[in-house]
């Protein structure tokens, strides 16, 4: 399976476990809710999703959770 996963990741990007996707979804929801209602546009939601996925591929998800939680608390 390891070789197949590496091939899929090269062809399609980062692979996430269901638990990771659930966590990233919760982060997305929290980030969107932290915005004023007037800024919860489809384009802003897409940009937030892109930022979360970019950061998730670079840093550990637990660090990403702490970062976004801190940003939301400061808002």
> Which of 18-22, 35-39, 58-62, 70-74 has the highest average model confidence (pLDDT)?
35-39
User: What's the half-sphere exposure (Cβ side, CA atoms, 13 Å) at 64?
Assistant: 22
The answer to whether residue 10 is domain-embedded is: no
Helix (H), strand (E) counts: the chain: 4, 0
Q: What is the pTM of this model?
A: 0.63
The answer to whether residue 54 is domain-embedded is: yes
The answer to whether residue 11 is domain-embedded is: no
pLDDT at 60: 67
63 is in which domain, residue-wise? 17-74
The answer to whether the CB of 62 falls within 8 A of the CB of 20 is no
Q: How many domains does the chain have?
A: 1
12 pLDDT exceeds 70? no
What's the whole-number mean pLDDT along residues 52-62? Answer: 75
Which residues are CB-neighbours of 48 under 8 A, at least 6 positions away?
A: 28, 31, 32
């Amino acid at each position: 399976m390891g070789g197949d996963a590496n091939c899929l990741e090269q062809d399609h990007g980062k692979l996430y476990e269901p638990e990771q996707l659930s966590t990233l979804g919760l982060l997305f929801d929290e980030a969107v809710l932290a915005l004023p209602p007037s800024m919860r546009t489809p384009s802003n939601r897409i940009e937030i999703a892109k930022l979360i996925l970019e950061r998730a591929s670079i840093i550990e998800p637990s660090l990403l959770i702490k970062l976004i939680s801190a940003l939301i608390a400061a808002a």
